[in-house]
Amino acid sequence: MVHIGYTMMTEQAGPRDLVAHVVGAERAGFDFSVTSDHYSPWLATQGHSPYAWSVLGAAAQATTRIPLMSYVTCPTTRYHPAVIAQKAATVQLLSEGRFRLGLGSGENLNEHVVGQGWPPAPVRLDKLAEAIEIIRALFGGGEVTHHGAHFDVVHARLWDVPEVLPPIGVAVSGERSCEIAGRLADLVISTEPGAELLDAFDRHGGRGKPRVGQLPVSYDSDRDAAIGRAHDQFRWLVGGWRVNAELPGPTAFEGATRYVRPDDVAEAVPCGDDVGRFVEAVRPYVDAGFTEVALVQIGGDRQEPFLNWAETALLPAPREL
């Protein structure tokens, strides 16, 4: 059975609403939840981008059962890995062991704000690997001093370390990221149902570890309205991650998606209220070998109707896959 998760999409709702949404997701019966970690929305029409770690702390207190996860945090530019280790340990304690730390090499959209430039992909991945090693060392509870190729840590120690450490996930998109994930992570993360990515993850040591995917959806009883909303707020998706990781802000995404049509988005995102259409969109992830799939309901003001529909109609269906 595949586990179905819920996404707190920080780009499309404010902090109080996001917490209310994950409370609703727990009540509806979702198996787990994930939280995006952005400084900017992809498009101005999304309209939000609160600090994800405050949201996670509040969610940990407002819920009792549903697992939480960053999906994903970049531990190399906006955040130093030593600070990521402290944040992850704290959320794990607040949630009483329900947190997983999802990491990735980041996007220019969010990381450029600190003025350190945006390095090429090979450098970003080298920084990611070094950051994970620092986080692992700090999770050990002792004092850490590290002088590496990209980061320095001087006499750092976590004073509040959970007995059960948060598992670390790594987002993958190619061979090098799969090598890092297989060697250093406890689970793998992908936003596309690529069996070749999971095969590479397995080759590098990931065999038997959980694999978590993500799927945007646009529920609405009016399918045309669902398609229109998906096009308005999520058309950036069709650019692919090699493009999306490089663009510097919402204005750039506006320009890059100027000629994306609503039909183009409808081909990539299940829209409407046909349960079968949604189940078939999950199926490629299951066939590829994913054990968990987090759904993203598009539209911050459409979460409550989606959660009600998911509880009664959607959730019982894809689990049978």
Please list the active-site residues.
38, 107
Q: Give the other-Cβ count within 10 Å of 116's Cβ.
A: 11
Q: In the 8-state DSSP scheme, what is residue 97? A: S
Kindly provide the residue ranges of all beta strands, DSSP E only, lying in 104-247, ordered along the sequence. Answer: 144-147, 152-156, 168-171, 187-190, 211-219
Report the C-alpha gap between 106 and 27 in whole angstroms: 32
> What is d(CA 77, CA 8) in angstroms, rounded to the nearest whole number?
23
State how far the Cα of 224 lies from the Cα of 307, in Å rounded to an integer. 20
Contact 107, 244 (CB under 8 A): yes
Specify the DSSP class assigned to residue 272.
Answer: E
Residue with tokens 């349960």: 275
Distance CA 220, CA 226 (A): 5
Both tokens of 314, joined, read 């959607």
Q: How far apart are CA 191 and CA 238, in angstroms?
A: 12
Contacts of 100 (CB under 8 A, 6+ apart): 67, 68, 69, 70, 166, 167, 168, 169, 186, 187
